[in-house]
Amino acid sequence: MKLLLIFNPVAGDGNHDELLQDLKIRVKEQDLHCDIFTTSGNNDAKEIDEKLRSSDYTHVIAAGGDGTISEVAKYSRKYDMPLGILPLGTSNGLARDLCIPKDPLQAFQLIIDSDHLIHLDTLIANDNYPFIHLGDVGANANLLARNEATASGKLRSAINAFQELHSNEYFSYRIRTEEEELEGSANMISFCNAKRYGTGIPLTKKGQPNDGLFELVVFKDIKISTLLNSALAAIDSGFLDQIDTRVIISNAATVTLNAPQLMQLDGELIGERKQIELKIGEDKTTIVCNQNCPYLP
């Protein structure tokens, strides 16, 4: 086993110096071959690609939030190697959905010890944006933008959530698949390769991330359950009550909006889009998990 660990030092609260030292101690104690690459935001992609291309790594590990995981997953697919996850983000939606341990050191040990693998579908938006967990347009993407533009902290996030979900911004949409066509108005449309947000609140009971299909969940209306829950949820919108939704299951869909809406994919803001083409990609993303993963056969 030869590992390349890609470490995002600013993920979540950005205070990971002690964890990084603990990981180095764990590597030394177990006599592992594990190189650690700490991202800087400066030419990271080129350096990571060169490392993976020029060496015989067997696993690549993403230490960060959902955005980091989604980015590192590109290399996992390109070089056909399993992806390990060390959850360091705010909500860690994908790790939670796969029942990967919350503690990063436990998650690291899982990668070393486990022989369980889950082969996730890769979704592609507008031909250029692959993602493996969740995306959306509307309320949640707007909330993410609010939080990125203001001071961090749970109270500030709660205030942003309160403001966003009381803005009552609706948009008209048309969704077209091979099976059906749907029109209406909504304040959020989610693109799901999973059942729930990172806080555990379900989006759909039908999601299976390895079945060759995805779910479009149309929120006709969203309300705040409690301000306390929104504070605990931080930048994640798991505090939303699923009160009036429509779920569409397909392997390809076109979403057309009456006006451009902000879109996020795996926790990363992509920008405003008026039309979104969604499809299942050809390549799976192989992730190391344990026997508790709910999606194993």
Kindly tell me if the per-residue pLDDT of 289 is higher than 70. Answer: yes
Say if 209 falls within a structural domain: yes
Do 93 and 143 lie in a common domain? no
Which residue would you say has higher pLDDT here, 236 or 289? 289
* Pick from 236, 241, 270, 229: nearest CA to 147: 236
Q: Any idea of the CA torsion for 227, 133, 63, 239, to the nearest 10 degrees?
A: 10
Q: 278, 124 in Cβ contact below 8 A? A: yes
Do 137 and 246 lie in a common domain? yes
Say if 297 falls within a structural domain: no
Whether the pTM exceeds 0.75: the reply is yes
Do 158 and 55 lie in a common domain? no
User: Beta partners for 41?
Assistant: none
- The C-alpha atoms of residue 232 and residue 229 are separated, in whole angstroms, by 5
For the chain, helix, strand, coil in percent to 5 are: 30, 35, 35
CATH number of the domain enclosing 201: 2.60.200.40
Say if 294 falls within a structural domain: no
Tens-digit pLDDT profile for residues 151-163 = 554 444 444 444 5
Tens-digit pLDDT profile for residues 118-160 = 999 999 999 999 999 999 998 878 877 876 655 554 444 444 4
Amino acid 159: pLDDT: 41
State whether residue 278 is helix, strand or coil.
strand
Do 73 and 134 lie in a common domain? no
Domain extent for 273: 129-280
User: Beta partners for 202?
Assistant: 196
Hey, what are 209's tokens? 């991330």
Do 155 and 209 lie in a common domain? yes
- The C-alpha atoms of residue 197 and residue 143 are separated, in whole angstroms, by 14
Sequence-distant (6+) residues with CB within 8 A of 100 are 85, 87, 107, 110, 289, 290
Say if 296 falls within a structural domain: no
* Pick from 181, 198, 189: nearest CA to 12: 198
**Domains held by the chain: number:** 2
pLDDT confidence band for 202 (50 / 70 / 90): low
Tens-digit pLDDT profile for residues 245-287 = 788 999 999 999 999 999 999 988 999 999 999 999 999 999 9
Do 114 and 175 lie in a common domain? no
